[in-house]
Amino acid sequence: MKGGACRLAVDLIRARLRTSYMGHLTRIAPGLRTRGALAGVAATLLLLGSADALARVLGASTSPLTAVGLLVIRVLPTDLVKLAITLFGESDKIVLILTVGVAGLVIGGLIGGLLCTRPHVALLTFTLAEAVLILLVGLRPEAGPPDLIASAAGSVLAAFSFALLLGARRRPGRTTRQTEVSQTEAGQTDASQTDAGRTEASQTEASQTEAGQTDAGRTDAGQTEAGQTEAGRTDRPAGFGRRGFFLLAGASAMVGAVGIAAGRTVVAVGRGAAEAARRFVLPAPAVPAPPVPDGAEVGVDGVAPFTTAQADLYRIDTALVPPAVDPDAWELRVDGLVEEPFTLTFDELLAMRLEEHRITLTCVSNPVGGGLLGTGTWTGVPVRTLLARAKPLPEADMVLSRSIDGFTASTPLEAMTDDRASLVAVGMNGEPLTPEHGYPVRLIVPGLYGFVSATKWVTRIEVTRFDRAEAYWTQRGWDAKAPILVASRIDVPRGLDSVSAGEVVVAGSAWAQGVGIAEVQVRLDDGEWTAADLGAEANADTWRQWRVTLPEVESGRHSVTVRAVDQEGTVQTEERRTPIPNAATGHHRVEFRAE
């Protein structure tokens, strides 16, 4: 009897568990999970859009969308960062913003869909996620009260919309769960009164339970729109019909989409910084740059201009959107291993002796033959002037520059104290810097790749040592010093171009900043190297254009290869290497067809 009683108890427990599980599934009215997911997506879109729009209105530096994107950039493995730059180039930030936005919508949809039967839990989970976003915004180095206000206001608006869409209150009345419990308890009483036929009793109880569960989960066709089951359970708030739900969800999503389209991330510049940049008039330099020499351009259509417009200069940095820096509040701190640390305001910097220098800026991520470089006439104060005032200590060998958004770059101290044209720059090509390129102040150091020298939105110059500090990219496996390597590029013909047989003009650019280009050589197919004609040199810190005419090129498919030699006799290597840790190498080769 004892063994039979135990088996009967086990059978009853199994039936009860199955009833509970199946009852949970049938308690959810058709389409409720879908509506919950839509509520989460709409509220998330409203959060991202409203916070982004308010960030622009208030002149904030960041928003939840950009804060998450910047966090992703910092935690991504170096190989993924390199792959993203290779695949998307200067569009990598747009791709990342879209990815972060889509991921946020998915998370919001999951919260609403999975927790649709427990709206209070769903709302709490959504609110906790909003709190994490506000925390990420507040942890940004450039964040201030406007950033937090914009994010908090967007979060409150989104949470309110989410609560309305889910329905935090239910109609009173007997629930399906209560009906099932009473049915199961009744079945248990009947089964316990049975003295024989244990198996039959348990089977009967299980079938009764299943039948009760099925009846409880059966939805009356006339009550589907109200979200009620036959047992009286209400899955939607009172007085909130399907039409009202979709109207509110659509309105929330529309407001969010408009907010993103008009917000800070898409516009990519804070209103205050943009207006300040437009109002700022760049002072005339005390030491202007010499004019570009005649003959610097070789006169071949398709070759990049010698001077790069600021709007056309490549942009590779860790900021998803340019920080909105107020020039009136901006300060530059020069400290570290120095005898006399000091701080400069923007007006004090402009009052110093400004110089103008023509320099080619190059990105370490530039692939062989790529376009991540450009030449500008930069206006600023020599870094050595500021360092001479601070008086670095003898043991110092590195300058760690810091951006307002927390980015750091390591530069050899020697490169900022010798006679090269290292600048704390405030202008390019006779115009103020744009927010995208570092307004109000950035660094420029000839002869080094940008990731160790060209800090944008710079706020601190710390004199230190390489064995005491590591910069942002050095921590991720890139070189700490990164001198520029001699390189060259073919601009004409483009890859797979069709040209006329006979004489074929080949042209492009070569660079070896800090040393200068001495010679460029071109080879057709696997033939001999031929010296190209060089454009006039502006200085050793700029690229040089080149051209060569290849005679008697026969019809058919051909390739042309280029290499450069610098003023010290270093020949550009043909060894293929990826950008990490210190620039891609190899000869640029272009295939074309002569007809």
Q: Domain limits of the chain? A: 2-28+172-217, 32-169+243-267, 310-476, 487-594
pLDDT at 15: 61
Q: How many beta carbons lie within 10 A of that of residue 166, not counting itself?
A: 27
Distance CA 286, CA 254 (A): 53
The kind and range of the H/E element at 200 are helix 198-217
pLDDT at 276: 61
The pair of structure tokens assigned to 109 is 């949809």
DSSP 222: G
Instruction: Decide: residue 577, CB within 10 A, 0-12 exposed, 13-18 middle, 19+ buried.
Output: middle
pLDDT at 273: 55
CATH number of 310-476: 3.90.420.10
pLDDT at 25: 44
Q: Is the peptide bond before 237 cis (omega within 30 degrees of 0)?
A: no
pLDDT at 92: 72
pLDDT at 542: 98
Q: 131 near 99, Cβ under 8 Å?
A: no
Distance CA 463, CA 413 (A): 8
Could you tell me the maximum CA-CA distance found in the chain, to the nearest angstrom?
Answer: 112
Q: 569 near 535, Cβ under 8 Å?
A: no
Which amino acid is located at 94 in the chain?
I
The pair of structure tokens assigned to 252 is 């929330």
Q: Is the peptide bond before 440 cis (omega within 30 degrees of 0)?
A: yes
pLDDT at 240: 58
Q: Is the peptide bond before 581 cis (omega within 30 degrees of 0)?
A: yes
The kind and range of the H/E element at 521 are strand 517-524
pLDDT, averaged per 10 consecutive residues of the chain (595 residues), comes to 61 60 50 88 94 84 84 77 70 80 92 87 93 91 86 94 74 41 40 40 39 39 39 45 86 90 61 62 95 97 97 89 86 98 97 98 96 98 98 98 95 97 97 94 98 97 97 93 97 95 97 98 96 98 98 96 98 94 96 96
Tell me the pTM.
Answer: 0.69
pLDDT at 322: 83
Distance CA 592, CA 504 (A): 11
Contacts of 113-118 spanning 24+ positions with Cβ under 8 A: 113/33, 113/34, 113/36, 113/37, 113/40, 114/33, 114/36, 115/36, 116/28, 116/32, 116/33, 116/35, 116/36, 116/37, 116/39, 116/166, 117/27, 117/28, 117/32, 117/235
Looking at domain 487-594, its CATH architecture is Sandwich (2.60)
pLDDT at 356: 98
